[in-house]
Structure 1
Amino acid sequence: MKSNAILIATTLLAASLLTPAKAQFPGMGGATQSKALPGTAGDQSPKGNAKLTGSVIDSTQAKAVEFASVALINKATGKTVDGTVADEKGKFVLSKLVAGEYRMLVTFVGFRNKMIDNVVLTNGQALDLGVIKLSSSIKTLEEVTVTGQAALIEEKVDRLVYNADKDITAKGGDATDILRKVPLLTVDLDGNVSLRGSSNIRVLINNKPSTIVASSVADALKQIPADQIKTVEVITSPSAKYDAEGSGGIINIITKKNSLQGLNLNVDSGVGNRGSMLSLNGSYRKGKAGFTIGGFGRAMYNTITKTNLDQTSQVNGVTTLTRQSGDGTSNGLFGQYNLGFDYDLAKNQTLTAGVRYGVRNMLSQQDLVTRLFTNGTPGASSNRDVDTKNLSGTVDANVDYLHTFKPQQEWSVSTLYSRNDLTNNFDADLLNGSGALTGRQQNLNKNVNQEFTLQTDYQTPIRKNQLIEFGAKGIIRQVNSDYRYLLAGPTGEFTTEKNGTQGALLYHQNIAAAYSSYTYTTKKRYTLKGGLRYEHTFIDASTEQDGTLGIGNYGVLVPSVNASKTFKGTTLKLGYNRRIQRPGLQQLNPNFNTANPQNITIGNPSLRPELTNNFELGVSKTIKKTFINATFFGRSTNNAITQVRQPSDTLVGAIVTTYQNIGRQYTYGTNTFANVAVTSKINVGIFLNVFYTSLTGQTTNADGVSESLTNTGFNVGGGSFASAQFSNGWGAQAFGFMQGSQVQLQGTQGGFGFYTVGVKKDFKSKKGSVGIAAENFLSNRFNIHTVLNSPQFNQVNDVYLYNRGVRLTFTYKIGKMTMDAPRKKAKSVNNDDVKSDGGGQAPAGGSSSGGGTPRQ
């Protein structure tokens, strides 16, 4: 079955060729209006006094086909002279028609085209064609196929849309494999995502957040099967309708849905040398009710990492050199299971409910060998075997209601409850130089994130070319984090270290928000979308050791303006918005994580939010078979939340990483990409990202002295992709990219690369396929070289990743389906509001601090 996106795009393209121009709201997905705008072909047609009416229904269910396209064609010339769209009851009216002989074409996605010949009109006649029955046609839909990928990338007034459902190499993979290929995005080898160099982004799934994503974006992406992703929306300039959080922008992952009647079951599987997966997704729909059930499991294994670390620190006149090497492996099990239900209360009212459960079990093991040199004098070496557990279980439950009054006029109410139980522990065995066990350590960190959200939205058109939207939202959020650091000898029970770190963080964060936005489209294809949003955050935070933190409440007014103009195949876009970035739990969590005692992480519960102003100017143009886009952007951030490192004043040679509101960060750059349809079945693309970053702020060193920090530099990355479709169901695809070093406040993080190729063969029945994909197969390992420094320390860290891989994939579809006219489903809650840890490369041997972010 072809994706609904391609079917709808194809039908609308056909209708646009057969009907006069209609008033639309570009970029908003609104329904076409039934009257032609002044100056269109509809107004230039001769006017008469004849009238034509009728209604369109589904031949199998005797239900109205809402918004079916109707085109009236002059029988002599073969040209379209008028057209309209049926209303929600399937009825249509064409008036002021000239007498003559015509044919009428009725079309809608999922149905065979209906041509009515010998429509004869006389002056003053009111001709009623009665009921016109459309029959569903799977065959017709399969024949109307866009074989080229001109729509691989779509641009709207506030976002870029990447159509991912044709990806061959992603079969058997996860969402990380898809996002690596989306222009504007960068995904490192650990799965951490950034947009235009900023990791302060929100990731949504089907327009709504999840605590699965909140705890770790990188881990959440591993739970989403790649072949279930339909599109990825990169919202670089979010409108007022979206939460104010996410200074870099929003990524919205849309999974595949359908409006099929009957029973359907999809089986997807893959096996490789570094991972395997199995996915079962089923749906059943009969009449007004629909059910979906699905499960996805992915196992990761044979993931090997080697590290080398050289770091020098100076504390109280003593210089300590640390030399460390590590060998590690990791294994993981990821799963996501969902149950959904939707019911049409009436023709214009829909109720949707769903429950989703996500599970993550990541187990890592690392052997560290450390040697210290004090003022040039070598000390004894030590060994450390560390086992890390990163476990989570997440539940999301939603109930949503949508009432559609007429095209583009709708009201929705959405609710969402989420809970995430997260465990991040480590056990360490301490060994001397000869390998004898001398002691043991434990860090226990248990976190619980809970929240409830209530949201309502209303939109309505004003005249033919204007739309107004407004709504309100409330979020009640609570985060609990308990942590303990324990010690033991070679044998015996674990006990709390005297003056050791233990305690709890209790963090209440409630948000009240309201917004309004306005969209205006002119007949000369100018589009303006402006809005204003206000959010007030109420915080009550305390720790067991320090009591109430006294962070205080704060409010923020968030304006947004987006404008676009299309002329002669060229689209210009201009955007401005202000964003707020609240700290996430990994920044707040005061757990003292010493999985690697030479690289320690600890959160800062007193962090304040950061505020960002974003500007962008974009231009895109289609030149024959080539689509080109270039965007120039600027970003200014106050109170930027950044990782800050300094030598420990208690542990010799150790570097402590924490988070601070350092001051200001400026980023300026450009994103450029081009897509060439070499033939209708071969596409080639190339993209380049270049931006300049400047970070400036104040921090306090280990001696308690305030110092100024500044770092600047360029970040460069780029890549290319190619895909081809051959006869007999064969297809091939290749992709590769390189990312240069990333500027940080105290140095640079090393760059990385990735490439993959794949081949797929569809079965003759089109119900299944087999494929093979390989990645990074030309080299045994990849080195990420990171250099960090300040007046008090210098660190060189090499991480060697062994990620050569190959996998076989198999997919099969079971069930006989019929197409039903698609209906709008109730909208879901869309929390996109807290900051992740930034996705930086973890220090050698260290695991990230316990906890996840408090809900997005």
Structure 2
Amino acid sequence: MKITYFLLISLFLVWAAACQTVKAQSTERDNYRISGRILEKSGEPVPYATAVLLNAATQEQIAGAVADAEGRFFISGFKNGTYVVQSAFMGFNPITSSAFDITEARKSFDLGDITLEEEAVNLQEVTVMGQRSLIEEKVDRTIYNAEFDKTTVGGSATDVLRRVPMLSVDLDGNVSMRGSANILVLIDGKQSAIVASNIADAMKQIPAEEIKSVEVITSPSAKYDAEGTGGVINIITKKNNLQGASLNINSSAGLRGSNLGLNASLKRGKMGWTLGGFGRSGYNILGAFENQQTLLNPNAPNVNINQSADTRSNMLFGRYNLGWDYEINKFHFLTASVSVGVRNMKNRQNNLLTETFVEEEFLNALLQNVRIEDLSNNVDVNFNYTKTFEKKLKEFSVSGLYSKNNTTNDFVNSLYNENFDQIARRVMNENRGVNEEFTIQLDYITPLGSGTNQILEYGAKNILRRATSDFGYFRADGPDGPFIQDTNVAFSNEFTYDQNVSAAYTSYTLGFLDHYTLKAGLRYEYTTIDADFRNSELPADIPSYGLFVPSINLSRKLTNGNMIKAAYNRRVQRPSLQFLNPNINAANPQQISQGNPLLDPELTDNYELSYSTFVKGSSVNFSSFFRNTTGSIQPVRTIQDNDIIFTTFENIGREQAVGLSVFSNINLSGKFSLNGSIDGYYAMLSNGLSDPLYAASNEGFVISGRLFANYTLPKDWQIQAFTFARGRQVQLQGTAGGFGMYGLNINKQFNEKRGSIGFGAENFLMSELRIHNELITPTILQQSTNTMRNMNFKINFSYRIGKLSVDGPRRRRRGVTNEDLKEGGGSGEAVISN
């Protein structure tokens, strides 16, 4: 625990240093101050617009500030002189004020209301390049603007998430936030059944080109569901608020994958339609794995098992959506959407050789071929009604969501005879699953009093969820014999899991002492569960439970847009189907796994402290945290039949993590930008068991980092580069090896920037990537190596047809957010910032 105390003291020192900064800047602010309010032509404020103080003669940047939610800004940190203020925001023409003097006699100056003119857009003639940073820091979230990252072209959401600060993605696509894989992933503020099933697979299904930005919410307020120990990731897809019609075509072809996407939009008056489709294929994905394990038995000789195989994967993904919105009048707004998706993943393990030794004496050898199919199709139907009022920020909304995901997870294991010249027998597992959700949600926001420095939010929500797993084992003799079902209920059964979550919340936001914002809330959730096996007399009785979930966020806005934030919240993590599913997965008969339908939820307390600053146009963020989880769901591994490792899950763990992340966005010139981050935390894990055969604990540092560079060349050429590295991952019973990835993309715009063509290369300096994993228990020692041949070259192409023009900012959209379920791996919230 010494390291815990040391790092907690470090957090205190960060806070103390930031407080000294507050004190110093407050003294300076009292002496000199420039203020104003940035508005649209309609009189509406422009939140988070920038105001930069320039020397009137040299145009040198002296100081700056970011406007709050009401468009107000305050600039300090300067001395006597003659200045101008330049105000700007994406989608508007920048405007520069007249020159004014600051003297000893007049140390403050009020510019009054500054009106920005909307920037006209004609996509047949010009492409608007936003000046927004690739990474933005807001009061309650960090935003990664993925639309400016061209290195992800032809990829998926998995590739985008690898670039986002505070997130880590392994080679299988499993996502974690600050070392916790228990996160909630939303798509446009809504939960989908495809995500509830498996985050890694869902992210591979979403094309990178359709992602506008990614919001990382490390300390969700009470408005959000209590689920998601690590926090919330909200993936915002591209929408438009433009009048007219457009069609965008984008494609990519490479050595290991290709894609084709079509997106169309039509906006006429108050009604808008969007239609999109995207397909992606993966092929020629080759790899291998090696596995050496020693099974320790104090009463018998040790058993050593060596395994190796070549792997091949092919995949096909598609996602299609139809959206509709209608502005009934000034105060009433409707939206609806239907989205369907398909996933087809086929994996092979060829020449899976298993050699068994007792001590050093050879016992036997087995040769197998394994074919695995992971298929799914899903549909999401969403409807939303929003009513606004004359009073600013007052809003009422009703949202509904129906989501269904059908899954198929099958494998066929063909076992050769002793001479390895023909197939002796086959084992087949069929596992059909269905995940359904129906959600209704009501939200109400109202300012208190005549101003906007107090906001009250409250609402209610109900989620009906059903998960079904119908599984069976079949056995056959020879290569062509008929399959006969195994009637053992452990191998062939149907499992249903019904869950109902009813919730209510209230949240209060207060702006006080000029630059402070306090947001506190309380949420109550009551969960009932009914689980049942069709072919078993043993009921899966799971008691109902209720939870109070508090949250508190405190922020202090400093000069030049600097900000310091502190937060606490309690989170709950319910197990998803992949932890609950009692189907026995024996694709590799030496390593069998099975879910546990009797798992309880995890409970986690999160503490966070962060500081953001701007230095000469560049942003830097320091974020520290402490996380304590009880009832952690951890794997339990035992030995069966002397040589088989059996894995299931229990609520026996305790996890603690304390860490610090630093990321920065640096603008070296108008043509070159650089941003990167380093994330580190110290993990402490224990399963809480006293039996020396099964007790386990582990601790250690985990470090990861990423770097992104963008350079604009003459004649509409652009080059972007990206690299990511993750160190060794600490796990309860061993470690997962580290790895690194990198990519380079060059593209050229043509035909008045309506089209672009480019070339991309990934991991081009190495032909394969090797990851070493380790498992250590009192009874099992295992060393494994996974190899992936991930060098890739690709050609990217996109073209846009149509003529659009900006139609004023569209009303906020609300949607359903089902923020729960522990996986293997909101916008619209009122924010006060003075």
Under a length normalisation based on structure 2, what TM-score does the superposition of the two structures give?
0.84
Q: Read off the aligned partner of 1:221 and give its amino acid letter.
A: M
1:481 aligns with 2:469: yes
Q: Give yes or no for the alignment of 1:492 onto 2:501.
A: no
Cα distance in 1 between the residues matched to 2:762 and 2:123: 36
Give the deviation of 1:534 after TM superposition: 0.8
* Cα drift, residue 722 of structure 1: 1.0
Find the counterpart in structure 2 of residue 461 from structure 1.
Answer: 447
The yes-or-no answer on 1:834 pairing with 2:821 is yes
- Counterpart CA distance in 2 for 1:747 and 1:641 is 16
Q: Distance in 2 between matches of 1:786 and 1:218?
A: 19
Say if 1:71 and 1:80, in contact at 8 Å, map to a contact too: no
Are 1:530 and 2:531 matched, yes or no? no
Q: Distance in 1 between matches of 2:50 and 2:355?
A: 73
- From 652, 668, 679, the equivalent of 1:689 is 679
- Give, as a single letter, the amino acid of the residue that structure 1 aligns with 2:504: A
Q: Is the contact made by 2:126 and 2:753 (CA closer than 8 Å) also made in structure 1?
A: no
Residues 580-605 of structure 1: CA deviation (Å, up to 9, x unaligned): 00001000000011100011111011
* Alignment equivalent of 1:341, drawn from 319, 324, 334: 324
Aligned residue pairs, count: 743
Shift of 1:13: 7.2
Sort the Cα spacing of 1:772 and 1:793 in 2 relative to 1 into closer, same or farther, 3 A.
Answer: same
**Equivalent residue in structure 1 for 2:376, among 383, 388, 392:** 392
| Secondary structure in structure 1 of the residue aligned to 2:579 | helix
Kept in 2: contact 1:716–1:741 (CA 8 A): yes
Preserved contact between residue 343 and residue 352 of structure 1 (Cα < 8 Å): yes
Match in the other structure for 1:657: 647
Q: Counterpart amino acid of 2:362?
A: P
Equivalent pair of 2:634/2:687 in contact (CA under 8 Å): no
Q: Are the counterparts in 1 of residues 220 and 569 from structure 2 also a CA contact under 8 Å?
A: yes
| Mapped contact 1:528–1:562 kept (Cα < 8 A) | yes
Name which of 317, 336, 339 aligns with 1:353: 336
Is 1:159 aligned to residue 141 of structure 2?
yes
Is 1:622 the equivalent of 2:614?
A: yes
Change (3 A) 1:562 1:69: farther
Query: Which residue number corresponds to residue 733 of structure 1?
Result: 720
Q: What is the one-letter code of the residue matched to 1:474?
A: N
Matching residue within 403, 407, 412 for 1:418: 403
Distance across 1 between alignment mates of 2:161 and 2:144: 9
Structure-1 separation of matches of 2:716 and 2:348: 43
| Cα offset, 1:226, TM superposition | 1.1
Amino acid aligned to 2:468: N
Does the aligned pair in 2 maintain the 1:515–1:533 contact within 8 Å? yes
Compared CA separation, residues 713 and 15, structure 1 to 2 (3 A): closer
- On the 8 A contact 1:321/1:374 being kept in 2, the answer is yes
Structure 1 Cα separation of the partners of residues 729 and 576 of structure 2: 22
Are the structure 2 counterparts of residues 595 and 74 from structure 1 closer, same or farther at C-alpha, using a change threshold of 3 Å? closer
2:385 matches 1:401: yes
Q: Distance in 2 between matches of 1:522 and 1:144?
A: 38
Superposed CA RMSD in Å reads 3.0
The change in CA–CA distance for 1:325 and 1:428 in structure 2 (over 3 A counts) is same
Task: Please point out which of 571, 587, 606 is paired with 1:595.
Answer: 587
After TM superposition, the structure 1 = structure 2 runs for residues 551-562 of structure 1, keeping only pairs within 5 Å, are 551-562=542-553
Q: Which amino acid in the other structure matches residue 408 of structure 1? A: L
Seen in structure 2, the aligned counterparts of structure 1 residues 312 and 178 have a Cα distance that, compared at 3 Å, is: same
**How far has the Cα of 1:708 moved from its partner?**
2.4
Match of 1:636 among 620, 624, 628: 628
1:607 aligns with 2:604: no
Matched with 2:118 is: 109
* 2:423 pairs with 1:437: yes
Match of 2:231 in 1: 249
Alignment partners' CA distance in 1, 2:227 and 2:295: 37
Q: CA deviation at 1:811?
A: 0.5
Q: Which residue of 2 aligns with 1:226?
A: 208
Tell me, yes or no, if the aligned pair for 1:157 and 1:563 is still in contact at 8 Å.
no
Is structure 2 residue 567 aligned with structure 1 residue 582? no
Equivalent-residue separation in structure 2 for 1:14 and 1:710 (angstroms): 49
Q: Deviations over 1:492-532 (max 9, x none)?
A: 22113364611121111000001111112236321111111
Deviations 1:278-312 (A, max 9, x none): 00010111111111111000000111120111011
Distance in 2, Cα, partners of 1:352 & 1:640: 39
CA distance in 1, matches of 2:676, 2:807: 38
Q: Distance in 2 between matches of 1:430 and 1:691?
A: 44
Q: Does the 8 Å CA contact 1:351/1:825 hold for their aligned counterparts?
A: no
Cα distance change, pair 262–409 in 1 and its aligned pair in 2 (3 A): same
Distance 1:657 1:75, change over 3 A: closer
Q: 2:469 & 2:217 partners in 1: Cα distance?
A: 32
Which 10-residue stretch deviates more, 72-81 or 504-513? 72-81
The amino acid across from 1:743 in the alignment is V
Give TM-score, length-normalised by structure 1. 0.82
For 1:29 and 1:295, locate their aligned partners in 2 and report how far apart those are by CA, in whole Å: 37
Tell me the secondary structure at the aligned position of residue 152 of structure 2.
Answer: coil
Q: Following the alignment from structure 2 to structure 1, what is the Cα–Cα distance between the partners of residues 100 and 680?
A: 57
**Out of 493, 496, 518, which is 1:503 matched to?**
493
User: Structure 2 vs 1, CA of residues 728 and 441 (structure 1 numbering), >3 Å: closer, same or farther?
Assistant: same
Tell me whether 1:201 sits opposite 2:201 in the alignment: no
Q: Distance in 1 between matches of 2:99 and 2:146?
A: 42
Identity %: 44
1:836, distance to aligned residue in structure 2 (A): 1.0
Q: 1:345 to 1:229 in 2, by over 3 A?
A: same
* Aligned amino acid, residue 503 of structure 1: N
Indicate the SS of the match to 1:547.
Answer: coil
Relative distance call for 1:610 and 1:137 in structure 2 (3 A) is closer
CA distance in 2 between counterparts of 1:640 and 1:546 reads 29
In 2, distance between residues paired with 1:638 and 1:548?
26
Look up the match of 1:113. none
Q: Give the superposition deviation at 1:826.
A: 3.7
SS of residue paired to 2:586? strand
CA distance in 1, matches of 2:123, 2:455: 37
AA matched with 2:436: Q
CA drift at 1:106: 4.8
Counterpart Cα distance in 2 of 1:502 and 1:783: 37
Give the partner amino acid of 2:620: I
Decide whether the 8 Å contact of 1:664 with 1:696 is kept in 2: yes
- Letter of the 1:219 partner, please give it: D
Q: 2:301, 2:180 → 1: CA distance?
A: 37
Task: For residue 743 of structure 1, report the CA deviation from its aligned partner.
Answer: 1.0
How many angstroms apart in 2 are the aligned matches of 1:622 and 1:826?
31
CA distance in 2, matches of 1:414, 1:444: 36
141 and 515 in structure 1: CA distance in 2 versus 1, 3 angstrom threshold? farther
Q: Retained in 2: the 8 A contact 1:603–1:658? A: yes
The answer as to whether partners of 2:123 and 2:754 remain within 8 angstroms in 1 is no
Is the counterpart of residue 757 in structure 1 residue 744 in structure 2? yes
Question: Residues 800, 655 of structure 1: CA spacing in aligned structure 2 closer, same or farther, 3 A cutoff?
Answer: same
Q: 1:746 aligns with which of 733, 744, 755?
A: 733
Matches within 5 A, 1:38-117: 83=112, 106-110=115-119
Work out which of the residue numbers 350, 353, 363 in structure 2 matches 1:369: 353
- Cα deviation digits, residues 222-249 of structure 1 (max 9, x gap): 2222122111100000011111000001
Distance 1:180 1:734 in 2: 13
Find the aligned partners of 1:647 and 1:610 in 2 and give their Cα distance: 27
Q: Please, which runs of 5 or more residues in structure 2 have no aligned partner?
A: 1-39, 54-64, 77-90, 103-107, 826-834
Secondary structure at the aligned position of 1:594 is classed as coil
Cα deviation, residue 483, structure 1: 0.8
Instruction: Tell me which moved more, 324-333 or 725-734.
Output: 725-734
Query: 1:10 and 1:255, CA in 2 relative to 1: closer, same or farther beyond 3 A?
Result: farther
Indicate the SS of the match to 1:593: coil
Aligned mates of 1:283, 1:261 — CA distance in 2: 9
Q: Which runs of 5+ in 1 are unaligned?
A: 19-25, 40-66, 85-104, 111-135, 839-856
